[in-house]
Structure 1
Amino acid sequence: MSDLLRGGRLAPSRREIIEFASSIKSDEKILRHIIDINRAHVIMLIEKGIIGKSDGSKILNALLNLRENPVIRLDVEDAHILVEEEVIRRAGLEIGGNLNLAKSRNDQVATALRMELRNEILNLIELIVNLQDSLLYLAEKNIETIIPGYTHLQQAQPTTFAHYLLAQFDVLERNIWRLIDAYRRVNLSPMGAGALATSSFPISRERVAELLGFEGLVENSIDAVSSRDFLLETLAILSILAVDLSRFAEDLIIWSSMEFSLLEIPDEFTSTSSIMPQKKNPEVLEVIRARMSHILGDFTASSIIMKALPSTYNMDFQEATPKLWDAIKTMKENLMMLSELVRNIKIRENITNKPFTSFLAATELANILVRNYKVPFRTAHKIVGALVKRLIEDGKTLLDATPELLSEVSSVFLQKPLIIKSGDLEKAADLKSFIESHNVRGGPSRREVERMISHRKMLLSQFRVEVSGRRRRIEDSIDMLDSFSKYYAAQENNRKI
């Protein structure tokens, strides 16, 4: 059992108490970062002349050995104490006891969390991009596939499946930009803040930040150890993404039902009933929809943990951290599953051959009355509404509308019959004509959809370059950290020779 911090101010504790408050299990995720932070800190101490090269090289050798052969023990408070104890065991107390000189667990844990989180943000962006790629793949196959568009879950206007998929792409794009913005705030170094007031030793916070791949500092030392808003911000973004994905999953669930019958979910992503042999249940989508609520719960729980805490470090923080990792894990798993599912969706044939879909074009009939017959739109709206009501009452569709019936209905609102050409009625009821006439930017016309697909393909390339560039900058810094670690560690071996 660890007594590294006891025997001075405090008497020894009991194993069950240490294990109760320990964060060692969740710290396993950040152990390698803690080792790297210690390496960068020791290199800085050597370069600033705060510790000697001989002592520094022994400490670095111990850290390099620990990084290659990490250990986890459950009898310590956390991974920070674990690393310090292992260094002392390898280098001795007289030398290894200076590992924590001019730093604290407070700035170290905040730094380690940011290092792991920046990696996870890049992972999330990559997975969202993969889902977007699946959406574009499916959209390209369905540029001319007309489907009903819905408002209030009632059929509204015709659109295309590609147009709908591009909408989902754009929803995901905004989440990527949120993550990129958050990354800039996450990738700042708290190291050197100490417990809360920096250090009286002439340390270089900038050097440590450089070796660890940070783009700058969390400058104010109180803020550096006190804030976990970067954790909440990421959870908030994941919560927005979770809401977005749950809505997308719900659309697919509804549209795959027999009542809507718009699309087919691949068999491997569905299940059947234990008693009803005809059933095809969209179980994977239902699980995705449900698991998005876990992420909302993680955000809520973390916010409540943080609420009303006094400034600087509190042990409450360590109860919020696992919520972040759980939310990220859940989101990553669901993004991967959804990407594969989406890529294999099949649209049912003859969707728009159902009689009631003809009313999707009612808006365009009102537009034609305005455009060709100079009827005020609000009046045209009433005329077409009355026409639709009459047709439904007679068990007919918009395809059955005649100039004579429209003339009869319109006379109620215009005090005279409106004579309309049969060709205008036919054009209004033509769903393909509706789609192509709606060629305003962002609309469902083939030209616009093809333009949007092309533009979004370029956007995916930009996102991939963004992620790879940020990864490369981190890797370059860690490579530099490795080089300096090995250089200073080798000096001990040189002296032995």
Structure 2
Amino acid sequence: MPTKKHATWGGRFTAGPAEAVQRFTESVSFDYRLAPYDIRGSIAHAKMLAKIGVLSRAEFAAIVKGLEQIGMEIAAGKFTWRADLEDVHMNIESELTRRVPAGAKLHTARSRNDQVALDVRLFVRDQIQLVQGDLRDLQWSLLMLAAANDDVIIPGYTHLQRAQPVLLAHHLLAYVEMFDRDHGRLNDAFKRTNVCPLGSGALAGSTLPLDREFIAKELGFDGATQNSMDAVSDRDFIIEFLADGALIALHVSRLAEDLILWASAEFGFIRIADAYTTGSSLMPQKKNPDIAELARGKTGRVYGNLVALLTLLKGLPMTYNRDLQEDKERLFDTADTLRSTLGVLADMLLNTRIVRERCESAASDPALLATDLADYLVKKGVPFRQAHHIVGALVAEAEKLGKPLNALPLGSFRQLSPKFGTDVRQVFDVRRALAARALTGAPSSANVQRQLKRWEKLLSK
């Protein structure tokens, strides 16, 4: 059944929306989270209206006092939200006008189109900085685990098969690098987010002499948007945040996968503290890495939020369309998921122990140094492809005899190439092999120590 005339647009309509329509179209059940930003934006707008003479000093003061009081009630959970008023904007404005008659002037030269664009930009701006802080915390946790185990060697893997030896710290620092790129991408996103759309109106600005630059400065923006139609319809900055979030989630998922493998009995490289694992309802021996598994799993919802918003926007004509109401839940969910995931992973890493003896055992596999054996021949003038073939034959011989590669007699080596000398045994010294990997970016101990110091300095800023 229809309701009474709507307070926002009642003059045009003879009746309000049906109750089913109200339930379908309301957004205050989730966009209430924008309330602090809505109030902050309204105060800045009121200040500008006072500056250009639309509000008297007394009216401005009363509006600010009313908005601040409403803000405190919202923060304390004492504000009553009304679904019939649709959204956070009209709930606040309606209550303000009820308390302060001058509140009826607040929406002068403002549309909910530019109002919500402002609120969401303020929200995204804050979330970017919060997520950046969470990334730094995770990088610190990785750095601390790496520094505490800077002499531990593990196999590096390709195709999930043992490949070459690396320092565990080098492996962990690879994730520090990934998350730093994520941090940098968020810096770039912040620049494009940090422009003020208020004053764009519904789509065509206003005939009143608004001071848009004044509002932008009041709210800490770099400047005002330059096209009113673009300003009210633009959600690129949300997509960019969600896309950056998807890359963060991708890197989190890769880290989680490594931790899950390392915690397994088959690897046994790490022990995660009981407080960050769970058990089985049936099997009493189980200790499951559920935190890492959930971190990996939540990547799917972060991807889904990005795809949902891309799909939402792909066919929208200019300018504002009600479809855009659907952007907020996707945005809120990604922000919340990133923050909770990054935070709990950082804590878990601080409560994770490296099992040195298992790492040492895995890294003692002489086959990890097969490439070094080929390099040994290259240094003696053998073309690499020929050296690769010779070492491959040695590996096959060792497998046939059921022996480790370094247990083959010298005669087996010399039978395939006279270039092998008694010094070939030195190739199988894993720490000597790591020390030889001294190129920029390679995992020698000296390089890793430099990187640990570099990251400690960078993350301390």
Q: Report the TM-score when normalising by structure 1.
A: 0.88
SS of 2:154's equivalent?
Answer: strand
Q: Show the 5 A alignment for 1:23-422.
A: 23-70=27-74, 71=79, 72-92=81-101, 95-350=102-357, 351-354=359-362, 357-371=365-379, 373-410=380-417, 418-422=418-422
Deviation at 1:247, TM superposition (A): 1.0
Cα contact 1:2–1:75 (8 A) shared by 2: no
Residues in 2 aligned to 1:408 and 1:448: alpha-carbon distance in whole angstroms: 37
What do residues 196-217 of structure 1 show as CA deviations (whole Å, max 9, x unaligned)? 1111000000111111111212
Residues in 1 aligned to 2:39 and 2:362: alpha-carbon distance in whole angstroms: 65
Cα contact 2:364–2:430 (8 A) shared by 1: no
SS of 1:97's equivalent?
Answer: helix
Q: Which amino acid aligns with 2:422?
A: S
Cα contact 2:249–2:302 (8 A) shared by 1: yes
The alpha-carbon distance between structure 1 residues 345 and 54, as it changes in their structure 2 partners (threshold 3 A), is closer
Partner of 1:7: 10
SS of 1:316's equivalent?
Answer: helix
Deviation at 1:158, TM superposition (A): 0.1
Residues in 1 aligned to 2:378 and 2:164: alpha-carbon distance in whole angstroms: 18
Partner of 1:493: none
Partner of 1:456: 455
Partner of 2:433: 434
Residues in 2 aligned to 1:264 and 1:57: alpha-carbon distance in whole angstroms: 60
What percentage of aligned pairs have identical amino acids?
Answer: 38
Deviation at 1:85, TM superposition (A): 1.1
SS of 2:365's equivalent?
Answer: helix
Residues in 1 aligned to 2:194 and 2:361: alpha-carbon distance in whole angstroms: 54
The alpha-carbon distance between structure 1 residues 228 and 263, as it changes in their structure 2 partners (threshold 3 A), is same
Deviation at 1:65, TM superposition (A): 2.5
Residues in 1 aligned to 2:458 and 2:255: alpha-carbon distance in whole angstroms: 21
Cα contact 2:199–2:206 (8 A) shared by 1: yes
The alpha-carbon distance between structure 1 residues 321 and 383, as it changes in their structure 2 partners (threshold 3 A), is same
What do residues 135-183 of structure 1 show as CA deviations (whole Å, max 9, x unaligned)? 1101111211000000011110000100001101000000000111101
SS of 2:206's equivalent?
Answer: coil
Residues in 1 aligned to 2:323 and 2:5: alpha-carbon distance in whole angstroms: 22
Cα contact 2:309–2:330 (8 A) shared by 1: yes
Q: Which amino acid aligns with 2:262?
A: W
The alpha-carbon distance between structure 1 residues 76 and 355, as it changes in their structure 2 partners (threshold 3 A), is closer
The alpha-carbon distance between structure 1 residues 279 and 69, as it changes in their structure 2 partners (threshold 3 A), is closer
Is the deviation greater in 79-88 or in 98-107? 79-88
Deviation at 1:52, TM superposition (A): 2.9
Q: Which amino acid aligns with 1:24?
A: V
Deviation at 1:277, TM superposition (A): 3.4
Deviation at 1:59, TM superposition (A): 2.6
Residues in 2 aligned to 1:68 and 1:241: alpha-carbon distance in whole angstroms: 34
Residues in 2 aligned to 1:444 and 1:142: alpha-carbon distance in whole angstroms: 14
Cα contact 2:125–2:194 (8 A) shared by 1: yes
- Stretches of structure 2 that go unaligned for 5 or more consecutive residues are none
SS of 1:75's equivalent?
Answer: helix
Say whether residues 1:17 and 2:21 are aligned partners.
yes
Cα contact 2:167–2:445 (8 A) shared by 1: no
Deviation at 1:261, TM superposition (A): 2.2
Residues in 2 aligned to 1:173 and 1:191: alpha-carbon distance in whole angstroms: 33
Cα contact 2:165–2:363 (8 A) shared by 1: no
What do residues 293-323 of structure 1 show as CA deviations (whole Å, max 9, x unaligned)? 1111111111111121111111111112111
What do residues 21-80 of structure 1 show as CA deviations (whole Å, max 9, x unaligned)? 011111211112111111111111111123333333333332232223232222211111
Partner of 1:471: none
Cα contact 1:403–1:419 (8 A) shared by 2: no
Residues in 2 aligned to 1:88 and 1:237: alpha-carbon distance in whole angstroms: 40
Deviation at 1:379, TM superposition (A): 0.7
Residues in 1 aligned to 2:389 and 2:236: alpha-carbon distance in whole angstroms: 53
